[in-house]
Chain A
Amino acid sequence: MTQSLIQGQNLSKVYGTATGPLVALDDVSFHIEEGEFISLVGPSGCGKSTLLSILGGLEAKTEGTLVVGGKHHDAPRADIGMMFQTSVLFPWRSIRENVRLPGLILGLDKRQQAQRSEELLDMVGLNGFGDRYPGELSGGMRQRVGLARLLAHDPRMLLMDEPFGALDEFTRETMNLELLRIWEKTRKTVIFVTHNIGEAVFLSDRVFVMTPRPGRLEGIVEIDLPRPRTTAMMRDPRYSELVFEIRRMLGVDH
């Protein structure tokens, strides 16, 4: 058996708070293969962001083992890119300079990064916006820049924490399609946090269903809709079945 890209065994995270210890993540185990599109779905407070932070090496786990690419994982790695609900663009850097930030930090080749940042801006539909500043862009456009920056240093794994959660419905759907298009092309490993069940089903190969108090991995749902995905599949009975299966696991329907 070949080794999975990411292996989590009995992962737990306990925060010490004023009211005593808080179990944010309770005994979570999973495998993630290279090139998979995984969604973490569940109500807020179920530990999605905590799990993502641990996977990103930003937060230490309390218990368990985590192996990424064959190595024990406890610190940020350049081959893991992260994106958050807010675009976190630096307002004093132009759009182009924002996209070049990862290359700058990691000391990558300047000429190559300059070319790549233009290609990426093209890809996310922001051709000609390179000299603008974040303050001049709409929320949707800023997340596009965030997407370009995420890919700038060509990370192998993309960890995305509700990246389009703050956008309106129409923009979010466009961004999801954009993300899928990019993923089809690059086949990076994506771990995508959302609390939108339909979005999770539409995008993913597998959906990790999480429940709160304490944060648990309730189950993993295999999404057997064909690829490439199209919006027409949202009318597919199988799509509704999967959505309802996840709703049942989350205890939304009784």
Chain B
Amino acid sequence: MTMAHIEPVALNPTALPRDPSGPSAARKATVAAFIEAERRNAKRQVLINRALAAGFGVFVIAVWAIATMGGFVHALIIPTPMDTFWATGRVMSADYFWPNAWVTLQEIFWGFLIGALAGVILGIGVAMFGPVRATLYPYLVALQAPPKIVLAPIFITWFGFDMASKIAISVVMCFFPMFLNTLTGLSSVDPNAVKLMRSLTASRWQTFRYLLLPNALPIMMAGVKLCWTLAVLGVIVGEFVGASAGIGYLIYAMNFQLDIAGVFSLIILLSLFTLVIYNLIEAFEARIIFWSQL
């Protein structure tokens, strides 16, 4: 290989001069003022966002009020906001409310707990043990195919009109997302992390305990939230199909008696309850997967 001769360039680097006393007081004040302004801007943005959300809520209620009180929609189809408000008080102070709410509460609790636990246990089993996967996985997925609501009448036949049938429907509804999210969470791991654990001669249990399980938590928590709303849905569907107590049963009965305001108030109460628990789950999630915000 031949190279053309190139004259060496005389290097004469010069560093730019710097004030040894550092930034002046005026400059520092400018920077401080800038940071303060940024902080105020961020605060204002938070307030604006909240105002937007609240404003939209007010708008929806206003439309609701105008549509119903202005006579555009009949009160038998949609009650006015005021009627709904008074109905909520009436329903909550009625002596039939709390025993029925208690029944629904227990059904949801057991449905959610059993469904979520079964999902986690089977998810771990299928993810960690080859024979379990081979045996069960096809059936677990196949079970997912029919819309589970079709099981409601059958479960009522099998387990009767009481809580057991509602819990069974709830379990069947909320099991699958928990199962799938556990399985997905345990499977979506950085292959290099697995290699690292293997290179450290970690046992299967150690790999599960120190790597796979914590790594799966974010996806599993998403499953828990899904599982929660589906557990509520399962119970209410069950109570619609056949029950002698529960919030779903009350909604069904009130609807039949054309007490639409009562129905609305129950729906609102049920939604509030679901939402409060949902937010509790989210708060719990933020605590146990604190690292996702880092």
Q: How far is the CA of A76 from the CA of B198 in the complex (A)?
A: 7
Q: How far is the CA of A135 from the CA of B206 in the complex (A)?
A: 23
User: Which residue on A lies nearest to B207, using beta carbons?
Assistant: A105
Q: How far is the CA of A84 from the CA of B197 in the complex (A)?
A: 12
- Which residues in A have their C-beta under 8 angstroms from that of B90? none
A22 adjacent to chain B (CB < 8 Å) = no
B192 adjacent to chain A (CB < 8 Å) = yes
B201 adjacent to chain A (CB < 8 Å) = yes
A58 adjacent to chain B (CB < 8 Å) = yes
- Which residues in B have their C-beta under 8 angstroms from that of A65? none
Cβ B200 vs Cβ A84 within 8 A = no
- Which residues in B have their C-beta under 8 angstroms from that of A106? 200-201
- Which residues in B have their C-beta under 8 angstroms from that of A136? 294
Cβ A104 vs Cβ B210 within 8 A = yes
Within 8 A of A (CB), among B13-57: none
- Which residues in B have their C-beta under 8 angstroms from that of A153? 200
Cβ A90 vs Cβ B211 within 8 A = yes
Cβ A86 vs Cβ B210 within 8 A = no
A83, chain B: closest CB distance, angstroms:
8
Cβ B210 vs Cβ A90 within 8 A = yes
Within 8 A of B (CB), among A40-74: 53, 56-58
- Which residues in B have their C-beta under 8 angstroms from that of A82? 195-196, 199
Q: Mark A199-214, 1 if CB is under 8 A from B, else 0.
A: 0000000000000000
Interface SS majority for chain A = loop
Within 8 A of B (CB), among A67-99: 76-78, 80-82, 84-86, 88, 90-92
Q: Mark B184-199, 1 if CB is under 8 A from A, else 0.
A: 0000001011011111
Cβ A90 vs Cβ B214 within 8 A = yes
Of B1, B192, B214, which one neighbours A84 at CB under 8 angstroms?
B192
Of A88, A92, A134, which one neighbours B214 at CB under 8 angstroms?
A92
With contact pairs A84-B192, A88-B193 given, residues A58 and B210 touching in the complex (Cβ less than 8 Å): no
User: Which residue on A lies nearest to B288, using beta carbons?
Assistant: A92
Q: How far is the CA of A143 from the CA of B210 in the complex (A)?
A: 20
Cβ B201 vs Cβ A253 within 8 A = no
Q: How far is the CA of A153 from the CA of B202 in the complex (A)?
A: 13
Cβ A84 vs Cβ B201 within 8 A = no
* Residues of B within 8 A of A (CB-CB), count: 23
A102 adjacent to chain B (CB < 8 Å) = yes
A69, chain B: closest CB distance, angstroms:
15
B200, chain A: closest CB distance, angstroms:
5
- Which residues in A have their C-beta under 8 angstroms from that of B1? 253
Cβ A88 vs Cβ B192 within 8 A = yes
Q: How far is the CA of A24 from the CA of B198 in the complex (A)?
A: 22
Within 8 A of A (CB), among B273-294: 289-292, 294
B204, chain A: closest CB distance, angstroms:
12
Q: How far is the CA of A53 from the CA of B291 in the complex (A)?
A: 30
Q: Mark B124-151, 1 if CB is under 8 A from A, else 0.
A: 0000000000000000000000000000
Cβ B199 vs Cβ A80 within 8 A = yes
Cβ A133 vs Cβ B190 within 8 A = no
Q: How far is the CA of A104 from the CA of B201 in the complex (A)?
A: 11
Q: Mark A25-48, 1 if CB is under 8 A from B, else 0.
A: 000000000000000000000000
Of A58, A81, A85, A133, which one neighbours B291 at CB under 8 angstroms?
A133
Cβ B294 vs Cβ A91 within 8 A = yes
- Which residues in A have their C-beta under 8 angstroms from that of B201? 76-78, 105-106
A190 adjacent to chain B (CB < 8 Å) = no
Cβ B192 vs Cβ A86 within 8 A = yes
A101 adjacent to chain B (CB < 8 Å) = yes
Q: How far is the CA of A136 from the CA of B217 in the complex (A)?
A: 20
Cβ A84 vs Cβ B196 within 8 A = yes
Q: How far is the CA of A11 from the CA of B215 in the complex (A)?
A: 36
Q: How far is the CA of A134 from the CA of B195 in the complex (A)?
A: 19
Of B190, B206, B290, which one neighbours A86 at CB under 8 angstroms?
B190
Cβ A56 vs Cβ B214 within 8 A = no
- Which residues in B have their C-beta under 8 angstroms from that of A134? 291, 294
Q: How far is the CA of A77 from the CA of B217 in the complex (A)?
A: 30
Return 6 A-B CB contacts under 8 Å, by A number.
Answer: A56-B195, A76-B200, A88-B196, A92-B217, A105-B202, A106-B201
Name 11 extra pairs, CB < 8 A, besides A77-B201, A82-B195, A84-B196. A57-B199, A58-B195, A76-B201, A81-B199, A85-B192, A90-B215, A92-B291, A105-B201, A106-B200, A134-B294, A135-B294
